[in-house]
Structure 1
Amino acid sequence: MTYFSEKEEGDLPRDKEEVGEGVWGGIKALITARIDDGSFGATYALSCEDRRGPIGTDADALWQAMRAEIPDLQVRVLPPWYHGEDMPRTLDALDMIQFCWRCVGKPIHQSYHPYFQHYHLRFEVEEGREDFRTDINRIFRRNGLAYELKEDGSIERLVPPVLREALASAYFHTRDSELNRMLETARSKIGDPGEEIRREALEKLWDAWERLKTLGTGSDKKSQAIALLDATAGASSPILREALEREARELSWIGNHMQIRHSEKGKEQVAKGEHIDYLFHRLFSLIQVILRLNKEI
């Protein structure tokens, strides 16, 4: 469903990465509602006393299993259906969503049991998962969160739009399989919700850059890099050629003086997630234009 305000004003920018109180309240309410209607009985069933099948969700079993797979919840958060006040970390909240997606199903009433006054249930798992995904993604969208619950139950961080387009259109099919592997690893990790995983993406992209500089036609690394930049700019664009060389030198300098490829004491750390996105986009753009204009690689 699209709200009227979205039609009038457009979507909020999807740039927030912290699950705040309001969002957590909505997620908690969503999980509680699925427990109350028996949806999680698809995996953690509360059974009829006459052993005629599932009749709802065993909430305690669900919580114990969730805590086992998300250990921080053992000390941080009461079960959301017990109206716990403590908020989980953002990464734990996202893990909870993935756990719930895996366990949910749409409950369908079967036979009525008049003695106990309840229905026996069967579950449409795929339909239940899709309904849950739609509701979670609506909460993300309405609150400007940079996350999306995918059809396979994974959660993807939405990178900034300009980088999102570049990543979506890139296809790595160079003759160097190791370079392809490095670039694909960097691309897959930059969309992870965890900041440490995104740092790994940045490191892998810088590794790819160092390898790419050795794939030109020169006799050593320096001449190989020069040949790549010459071919990228072309003979008719000397000003662009100079700009590309300055950019290449600057990015190599950044990689050597910050904690990207090196972790010695005194190297400056990439402090914020936004800095990771900025540096990734800057180098990714350079690599992409080099690959597009050097077909022999």
Structure 2
Amino acid sequence: MRRTDFYSDRINGPTPRVHEQLPERTSKGLLSLFINKIEAHWFAERFPEHCEDGNGICGTNGRGVWTDVEAHVPNMAMTGGYYGGSFSYEQADEVTFDLIEYAASRLSKPKNREWHDFMKHHELSFDEAAGRKAFRDEVNTILQRGGTVYELSPQLEIIRIGTPAVQQVLEQLTPASGDDDLDGLLLHAKELFLSRKEANRGLALDKLWDAFTRLKTVDVQGNKLRSISVLLQNIDNEAFREVTNAEMNALTKLGNDFMIRHHETGTHSVPPEAYDYLFARMGSLIVYLLKVSGRLG
């Protein structure tokens, strides 16, 4: 199923991605998916139960799974342990995300092979790549339908994709400036901003503003004002060149007045709820300047 293959998405458009905290239904849906994969033997290749009448895998060593889960996710809420107790569907968001990442890196899609009539079961074969893709698609459908700002990446890590404006910047920001330091700062800013950790997203703004400063100096080394003038000359429309120059000055002042590039007394802290706005605004400007100067990959 495609991530937007729902009637309401086709009629009204995709659900807005705005939730920083997992809605209750989304959290329970992810946890239910995790439990279902255990019960459907998606962990059997890693934690096998072997057929007593042969050498094939016929099921899952459930106790082995849960012992391993509890060791890797020690903050998981359980009541008396899974066996003889119950798994709680009320978990902190970080625990839910840990369980999803745990599952994504350990499961494989099972397929029935030979039927053992006497034992009344199939032997199983497994496809790890297909299992990971299917699981990632299911997780991302739940996260998208719940309107969250999170996604399970191809690297099987939960990342924060941010608002639509941020997503557009992250997609377009593929620098090929010829300046390794500038490209490195931009790529590091992207990596940090995808983090679920708020502190890392604050650091991403530092790197983005540092990259902006670097971009203003790459054309004429040793003469910042002349370098900015050369950069702006890439904009053919004179009126829009002035608009861009004003935006560059405004964001330079913002970076100096707030604790982005400078942290002296008298500078203001950046409220975390403004991180997306600032990243999208500065990122959009940098993407535009890279594009008009032929530095965008």
Q: Spell out the pairing of 1:2-17 with structure 2 (5 A cutoff).
A: 2-17=5-20
* Equivalent position amino acid for 1:87 in 2: Q
Larger RCO, structures 1/2 (Cα 8 Å, 6+ apart): 2
Unpaired stretches in structure 1, ≥5 consecutive residues: none
CA distance in 1, matches of 2:60, 2:199: 35
Q: Does 1:32 align with 2:31?
A: no
More deviation, 13-22/52-61: 52-61
SS at match of 1:110: strand
Q: Following the alignment from structure 1 to structure 2, what is the Cα–Cα distance between the partners of residues 209 and 291?
A: 10
Task: State whether residues 216 and 224 of structure 1, in contact with CA within 8 Å, keep that contact through their aligned partners in structure 2.
Answer: yes
Note if contact 1:214-1:221 (Cα within 8 Å) is conserved in structure 2: yes
**What SS does structure 1 have at the residue aligned with 2:290?**
helix
| Paired AA for residue 279 in structure 1 | L
- 1:77 counterpart residue number: 77
Check the 8 A contact 2:46/2:107 in 1, yes or no: yes
**Aligned equivalents of 1:106, 1:54: Cα separation in 2:** 13
Cα-to-partner distance string for 1:126-160 (whole Å, 9 max, x where unaligned): 22222222221221122112233244423343333
Tell me, yes or no, if the aligned pair for 2:175 and 2:295 is still in contact at 8 Å. Answer: no
Change (3 A) 1:131 1:292: closer
Q: 1:212 aligns with which of 211, 215, 218?
A: 215
Partner of 2:190: 187
* 1:169-184 correspondence runs (5 A): 169-184=172-187
Q: Distance in 1 between matches of 2:271 and 2:160?
A: 18
Q: Which residue of 2 aligns with 1:251?
A: 251
State the partner residue of 1:285. Answer: 284
Answering whether residue 86 of structure 2 is matched by residue 87 of structure 1, we say no
Number of residue pairs the alignment of both structures matches = 289
Q: Measure the CA separation in 2 of the matches of 1:152 and 1:144.
A: 22
The 3 A distance-change label for structure 1 pair 20 and 241 is same
Contact residue 259 and residue 270 of structure 1 kept, 8 A: yes
What residue number does 1:101 align with?
Answer: 104
- TM-score for the superposition, normalised by structure 2: 0.83
Paired residue for 2:49?
Answer: 46
128-137 or 164-173: which moved more? 164-173
- Larger helix fraction of residues: 1
Aligned to 1:271: 271
- Give the letter aligned to residue 95 of structure 1: D
> Any idea what SS the aligned residue of 1:42 has?
coil
Q: Secondary structure of the equivalent of 1:283?
A: helix
Aligned letter for 1:287? Answer: I
**Correspondence for 2:158:** 155
1:242 deviation in Å?
3.8
1:77 and 1:262 map into 2 onto residues whose CA distance is: 42
Q: Deviations over 1:170-210 (max 9, x none)?
A: 43111211111111222233233333332222111111112
Conserved? CA contact 2:43–2:60, under 8 Å? yes
Q: In structure 1, the residue corresponding to 2:136 is in which secondary structure?
A: helix
Q: Which residue pairs with 1:294 in the alignment?
A: 293
Contact persistence 2:41–2:110 (CA under 8 A): yes
User: Could you list the per-position Cα deviations for residues 233-255 of structure 1 after superposition, in whole angstroms to 9, with x for gaps in the alignment?
Assistant: 45x62x44443333222212222
Give the distance between the partners of 1:137 and 1:232, measured in 2 at CA.
40
Q: Is residue 2:133 matched to residue 1:130?
A: yes
Letter in 1 for 2:95: D
User: Which string of whole-angstrom CA distances, capped at 9 and with x for unpartnered residues, describes residues 207-246 of structure 1?
Assistant: 11121222233753344334433x1445x62x44443333
Q: Find the aligned partners of 2:134 and 2:240 in 1 and give their Cα distance.
A: 51
User: Do the aligned partners of residues 265 and 41 (structure 1) sit closer, same or farther apart at CA in structure 2, a change above 3 Å counting?
Assistant: farther
Identical positions, percent = 29
Give the equivalent residue in structure 2 for 1:140.
143
Change in Cα spacing, 1:40 to 1:267, as seen in structure 2 (3 Å) is farther
